[in-house]
């Protein structure tokens, strides 16, 4: 039998602390504070501007200093030989549960199918660590989860060694089995009870070296894949809570309008299947036996509305306000020696495919909520619970919040609008409800990435770029979900000077120009408009980077250089340089293409990773005008190559998936998907109005290259591909057509659909579905 002992402990290797917990079977715990410290030390050699997620860690350390063991995350080994871990993050499709299972399997020497991951309920003591956003999940979990798993393995080894009376370093572990060369062996399950501790004691352990990884770094399929393809995976909408009947809401004709009067509530309540009707903050809720009957009920309501918060606003009025609010550029234009450009980015929806939904069971003395929440916990309070408790007039500890697996997020689930609304309805009706927004609600009343304008001026002389100024002006993005308070409260520690708002802080920390362009300034200004906004996958970067890369191409053209040759000359980031060189080869930069078809390149470093995207866009009329019923065609991205340096890639297969997803988001933002605001509301009401990338828009030829490890730390992956993909498509389009677009998406100018009426707020479902069977 092969020897699987680990190399003898190297006394100079860093040790990580944790606890053996008093429990019936083996359980270990690790505090975030200890583990985060370890992570910081390990990362000390990578110079990069701290990004928001690092700052959260900083804040956590301060908060956790006073809490020696209360913020534990724990791994348990059970008698059936499995290890369980309750993840304090939510899974919304980015494969976080798979990555964590891999970490546990790695350090515990356990097959991955013996690792059980569940989603933890809201846990106030975990503070900001229970937040899935900013692509920080995998990075911030990496050290603590491995530490807990390594401690569990160490305790199993100690237990076996004592039983067999052999030295610990002669006990090997593999696939959930402990063994000794004498032939003795035991499964983890058989020792789970014996290895348990009867009191909580502190212990330390060192972690596997990257070279010894057998699970991490290898392609791993999603652990929830079988449940998904068989339809067994339960999303929020699929959960059954006794008495929680379907519920939908009739909504106002403008954003955040309110109810003035309902004329026929009783008649609607008497409709077939309808059980309750209640006026709520932004509409009238209807509860019934089926969602279909709720739709019929809400459509039958006769309601008078009060105005909303942005009634007079349309695309043009918002744009005019943005233009007025632009911060001045400081360097005077120098005629032929400057490149100037201004780009407008339309409102975009962050709606996932699963409509916002939540189950609420509010009783006079307690409440229970089920919803997909990325921030069940605030830094100082539990926002979702606290807000809902405050709204309901209940003590916080009487409100239980369950985190449910989500059908996508893209920023939407950073907020708890739907959970709060479900609670309001349940309280008013005095019954449990399963609330779903309709698709049309999601687009028209749900949160959106706000319209913004990015103005850039670069000056150059004798082949050098002297200045690069970017002024980004945006309709306000709401961060009122806990990140805001966290950042503001640690503002004194931030490595930026001055008195910035939270949004400006996020902007400064997440943006940087990766080129040697002399004096660089990037500033953000926001105008306060009361749209329902929130960050969307990759927040500001897609817009800012798209504008930047288009200007880089313009500068290259002005200096008579090829876009890649120019970037090679001016790039200051070595990791970006490496991914660019790889993409140039893999994607065959400069290969001959017919007229009307062109390549474009986009580069972006963020979340401690670097990505290069090279696409080919076909803008020939026969492609642009290809017929698809009720679908936007337009230019087609025919080929895409993406290269990622993910620092320490934990799951190349998962990374590849995130790159493909980010690519399709970038294509949508560049070419097809936006919200058209008219008289206080978006016109979009379905996926045939809001044109996210479809099969007829996606490139038939996509290739992703994940570079071998370059650092010891996994980078973020969920968002990083969006910005460079958007930029690459925009640059390719400009080169194929000879015109740099100034408004995105490029088709925003014409409305490609007939909008649904604004009232009733949810359209009736068609009845002719059998006609389109195939």
Partner 1 sequence: MSQHTFVLNGSRVTVEVADDVRLLWVLRDILGVTGPKYGCGLNVCKSCTSHINGKAFNPCSVPVSKIKESDEITTIEGLPATVGRDLHPMQEAWLEEDVSQCGYCQPGQIMAAVALVRKTKAEGRQITDADLDGLRNICRCGTYSRIRTAIRKGADRM
Residues 295-334 that bind partner 1 (CB under 8 A): 295-296
Rule CB under 8 A: which of 369-398 touch partner 1?
A: none
Distance of alpha carbon 717 from alpha carbon 703, whole angstroms:
16
Closest CA to 78 of 178, 193, 166: 193
Is 408 or 718 the residue whose CB approaches ligand FES more closely?
408
Residue 542 binding partner per list partner 1, ligand FES, none, with a CB distance cut-off of 5 to 8 Å that depends on partner kind:
none
Distance of alpha carbon 245 from alpha carbon 274, whole angstroms:
10
Distance of alpha carbon 195 from alpha carbon 192, whole angstroms:
5
Is 355 or 450 the residue whose CB approaches ligand FES more closely?
355
Closest separation in Å from C-beta 677 to partner 1:
21
Closest separation in Å from C-beta 408 to ligand FES:
5
Distance of alpha carbon 506 from alpha carbon 488, whole angstroms:
10
Closest separation in Å from C-beta 244 to partner 1:
11
Closest separation in Å from C-beta 229 to partner 1:
4
Is 150 or 247 the residue whose CB approaches ligand FES more closely?
247
Is 78 or 665 the residue whose CB approaches ligand FES more closely?
665
87 CB-side CA count, 13 A: 29
Tell me which of 292, 307, 752, 755 binds partner 1, using CB under 8 A: 292
Residue 581 binding partner per list ligand FES, partner 1, none, with a CB distance cut-off of 5 to 8 Å that depends on partner kind:
none
CB 318 within 8 A of CB 304: no
Distance of alpha carbon 644 from alpha carbon 605, whole angstroms:
10
Tell me which of 164, 213, 305, 692 binds partner 1, using CB under 8 A: 692
- Peptide linkage before 462 cis (omega within 30 of 0): no
Tell me which of 256, 438, 511, 747 binds partner 1, using CB under 8 A: 438
Closest separation in Å from C-beta 446 to partner 1:
13
Rule CB under 8 A: which of 156-185 touch partner 1?
A: none
**Which segment (12-20, 482-490, 585-593, 623-631) binds partner 1 by CB under 8 A?**
623-631
Tell me which of 11, 312, 463, 769 binds partner 1, using CB under 8 A: 769
**Which segment (103-111, 287-295, 574-582, 607-615) binds partner 1 by CB under 8 A?**
287-295
Closest separation in Å from C-beta 769 to ligand FES:
8
Is 560 or 774 the residue whose CB approaches partner 1 more closely?
774
Closest separation in Å from C-beta 399 to partner 1:
27
The full length of the chain comes to 774
**Could you say whether residue 718 binds ligand FES (CB under 6 A)?**
no
Alpha helices (H) in 475-559, listed in sequence order: 483-489, 502-510, 541-558
281 CB-side CA count, 13 A: 12
Is 357 or 454 the residue whose CB approaches partner 1 more closely?
357
Rule CB under 8 A: which of 658-687 touch partner 1?
A: 660-665, 686-687
Is 408 or 542 the residue whose CB approaches ligand FES more closely?
408
Rule CB under 8 A: which of 508-537 touch partner 1?
A: none
722 CB-side CA count, 13 A: 20
CB 454 within 8 A of CB 343: yes
Closest separation in Å from C-beta 273 to ligand FES:
19
What secondary structure does DSSP assign to 652-680, as a single string? HHHHHHHHHHHHHHHHIIIII----EETT
Closest CA to 677 of 477, 443, 474: 443
**Could you say whether residue 218 binds partner 1 (CB under 8 A)?**
no
Is 38 or 408 the residue whose CB approaches ligand FES more closely?
408
User: What phi and psi values does residue 467 have, to the nearest 5 degrees?
Assistant: -140, 150
Residue 649 binding partner per list partner 1, ligand FES, none, with a CB distance cut-off of 5 to 8 Å that depends on partner kind:
none
One character per residue 339-368, x = contact with partner 1 (rule: CB under 8 A): ------------xxxxx-------------
Tell me which of 33, 35, 92, 377 binds partner 1, using CB under 8 A: 92
Beta bridge partners of 433: 245, 360
Tell me which of 51, 82, 94, 149 binds partner 1, using CB under 8 A: 94
Tell me which of 353, 496, 519, 585 binds ligand FES, using CB under 6 A: 353
Residue 102 binding partner per list partner 1, ligand FES, none, with a CB distance cut-off of 5 to 8 Å that depends on partner kind:
none
CB 441 within 8 A of CB 295: no
Closest separation in Å from C-beta 770 to ligand FES:
13
Residue 672 binding partner per list partner 1, ligand FES, none, with a CB distance cut-off of 5 to 8 Å that depends on partner kind:
none
Which residues neighbour 575 within 8 Å (Cβ) at sequence distance 6 or greater? 605, 609, 610, 645, 710
**Which segment (58-66, 451-459, 503-511, 697-705) binds partner 1 by CB under 8 A?**
697-705
- Peptide linkage before 760 cis (omega within 30 of 0): yes
**Could you say whether residue 774 binds partner 1 (CB under 8 A)?**
yes
Mapped onto helix, strand or coil, the DSSP state of residue 743 is: strand
Q: Which two tokens stand for residue 292?
A: 């279909």
DSSP secondary structure code for residue 588 in this structure: T
Which residues neighbour 304 within 8 Å (Cβ) at sequence distance 6 or greater? 259, 260, 261, 262, 263
How far does CA 201 lie from the centroid of its chain? Answer: 37
Beta bridge partners of 567: none
Is 408 or 631 the residue whose CB approaches ligand FES more closely?
408
Q: Which two tokens stand for residue 180?
A: 């000794």
Q: How many residues bind ligand FES (CB under 6 A)?
A: 3
Tell me which of 288, 355, 408, 682 binds ligand FES, using CB under 6 A: 408
Rule CB under 8 A: which of 742-761 touch partner 1?
A: none
**Could you say whether residue 662 binds ligand FES (CB under 6 A)?**
no
**Could you say whether residue 653 binds partner 1 (CB under 8 A)?**
yes
Alpha helices (H) in 68-136, listed in sequence order: 96-108
Is 502 or 753 the residue whose CB approaches partner 1 more closely?
753
One character per residue 219-248, x = contact with partner 1 (rule: CB under 8 A): --xx-xxxxxxxxxxxx-xx-x-----x--
CB 359 within 8 A of CB 390: no
**Could you say whether residue 698 binds partner 1 (CB under 8 A)?**
yes
Distance of alpha carbon 379 from alpha carbon 119, whole angstroms:
19
Residue 389 binding partner per list ligand FES, partner 1, none, with a CB distance cut-off of 5 to 8 Å that depends on partner kind:
none
Is 497 or 770 the residue whose CB approaches partner 1 more closely?
770
| Cβ contacts of 2-8, under 8 Å, gap ≥ 24 | 2/174, 3/172, 3/181, 4/109, 4/172, 4/173, 4/174, 4/179, 5/169, 5/170, 5/171, 5/172, 6/169, 6/208, 6/212, 7/212, 8/169
Rule CB under 6 A: which of 55-94 touch ligand FES?
A: 93
Distance of alpha carbon 175 from alpha carbon 53, whole angstroms:
34
Give the residue closest to ligand FES by C-beta: 353
Closest separation in Å from C-beta 140 to ligand FES:
24
The CA-based dihedral angle spanning residues 534, 704, 354, 235, taken in that order and rounded to the nearest 10 degrees: -120
Provide the strand spans (E) within 321-478: 338-345, 348-349, 357-362, 367-371, 399-403, 433-436, 448-449, 452-461, 464-475
Which residues neighbour 769 within 8 Å (Cβ) at sequence distance 6 or greater? none
**Could you say whether residue 625 binds partner 1 (CB under 8 A)?**
no
Is 661 or 709 the residue whose CB approaches partner 1 more closely?
661
Q: How many residues bind partner 1 (CB under 8 A)?
A: 77
Note the residues at the interface with ligand FES (CB under 6 A): 93, 353, 408
């Amino acid at each position: 039998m092969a020897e699987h002992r680990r190399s003898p402990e190297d006394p100079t290797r860093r040790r990580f602390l944790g606890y053996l917990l008093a429990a019936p079977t083996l359980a270990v715990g690790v505090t975030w504070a200890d583990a985060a410290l370890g992570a910081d030390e390990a990362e000390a050699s990578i110079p990069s501007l701290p990004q928001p997620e690092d700052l959260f860690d900083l804040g956590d350390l301060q908060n956790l200093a006073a809490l020696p063991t209360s913020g534990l995350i724990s791994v348990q080994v059970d008698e059936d030989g499995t290890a369980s871990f309750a993840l304090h993050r939510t899974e919304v499709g980015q494969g976080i549960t798979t990555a964590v299972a891999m970490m546990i399997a790695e350090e515990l020497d356990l097959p991955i199918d013996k690792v059980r991951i569940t989603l933890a309920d809201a846990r106030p003591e975990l503070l900001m660590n229970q937040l899935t956003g900013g692509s920080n999940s995998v990075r911030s979990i990496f050290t603590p989860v491995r530490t807990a798993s390594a401690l569990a393995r160490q305790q199993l080894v100690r237990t076996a060694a004592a039983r067999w009376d052999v030295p610990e370093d002669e006990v090997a572990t593999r696939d959930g089995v402990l063994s000794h060369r004498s032939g003795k062996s035991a499964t983890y399950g058989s020792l789970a009870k014996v290895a348990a501790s009867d009191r909580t004691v502190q212990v330390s352990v060192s972690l596997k070296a990257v070279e010894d990884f057998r699970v991490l770094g290898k392609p791993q399929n999603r652990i929830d894949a079988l449940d998904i393809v068989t339809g067994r995976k339960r999303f929020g909408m699929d959960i059954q809570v006794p008495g929680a009947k379907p519920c939908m809401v009739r909504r106002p004709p403008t954003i955040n309008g309110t109810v003035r009067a309902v004329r026929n509530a009783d008649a609607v309540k008497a409709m077939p299947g309808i059980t309750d009707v209640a006026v709520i903050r932004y509409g009238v809720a209807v509860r019934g036996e089926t969602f279909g009957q709720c739709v019929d009920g809400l459509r039958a309501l006769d309601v008078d509305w009060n105005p909303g918060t942005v009634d007079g606003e349309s695309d043009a009025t918002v744009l005019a306000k943005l233009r007025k609010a632009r911060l001045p550029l400081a360097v005077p234009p120098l005629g032929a020696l400057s490149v100037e450009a201004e780009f407008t980015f339309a409102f975009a929806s962050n709606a996932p495919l699963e409509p916002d939904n939540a189950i609420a069971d509010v009783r006079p003395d307690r409440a229970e909520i089920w919803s997909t929440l990325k921030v069940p916990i605030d830094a100082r309070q539990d926002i979702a619970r606290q807000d809902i408790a405050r709204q309901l007039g209940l003590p916080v500890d009487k409100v239980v919040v369950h985190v449910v697996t989500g059908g996508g997020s893209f920023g939407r689930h950073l907020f708890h609008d739907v959970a709060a609304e479900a609670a309001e309805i349940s309280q008013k009706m005095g019954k449990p409800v399963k609330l779903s927004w309709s698709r049309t609600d999601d687009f028209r009343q749900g949160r959106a990435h706000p319209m913004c304008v990015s103005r850039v001026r670069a000056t150059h002389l004798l082949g050098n770029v002297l200045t690069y100024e970017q002024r980004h002006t945006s309709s306000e993005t709401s961060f009122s979900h806990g990140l805001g308070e966290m950042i503001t409260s640690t503002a004194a520690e931030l490595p930026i000077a001055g008195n910035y708002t939270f949004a400006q802080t996020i902007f400064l920390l997440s943006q940087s120009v990766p080129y040697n362009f002399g004096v660089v300034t990037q500033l953000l200004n926001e105008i306060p408009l009361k749209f329902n906004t929130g960050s969307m996958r990759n927040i500001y970067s897609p817009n800012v980077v798209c504008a930047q890369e288009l200007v880089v191409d313009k500068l290259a053209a002005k200096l008579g250089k090829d876009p890649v040759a120019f970037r090679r000359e001016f790039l200051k980031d070595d990791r970006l340089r490496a991914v660019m060189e790889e993409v140039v080869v893999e994607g065959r930069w400069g290969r001959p293409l017919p007229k009307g078809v062109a390549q474009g390149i986009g580069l972006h470093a963020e979340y401690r990773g670097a990505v290069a995207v090279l696409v080919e866009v076909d803008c020939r009329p026969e492609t642009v005008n290809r017929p698809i019923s009720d679908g936007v065609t337009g230019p087609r991205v025919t080929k895409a190559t993406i290269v990622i340096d993910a620092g320490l890639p934990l799951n190349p297969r998962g990374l590849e998936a995130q790159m493909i997803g980010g690519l399709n988001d970038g294509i949508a933002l560049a070419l097809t998907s936006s919200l058209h605001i008219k008289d206080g509301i978006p016109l979009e009401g379905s996926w045939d109005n809001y044109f996210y990338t479809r099969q007829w828009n996606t490139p038939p030829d996509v290739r992703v290259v994940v570079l071998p490890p370059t650092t010891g730390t996994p980078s973020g992956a969920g968002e990083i591909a969006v910005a460079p993909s958007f930029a690459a498509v925009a640059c390719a389009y400009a080169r194929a057509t000879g015109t740099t677009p100034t408004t995105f998406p490029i088709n925003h100018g014409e409305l490609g659909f007939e909008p649904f009426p604004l009232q009733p707020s949810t359209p009736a479902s068609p009845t002719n579905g059998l006609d389109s069977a195939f």
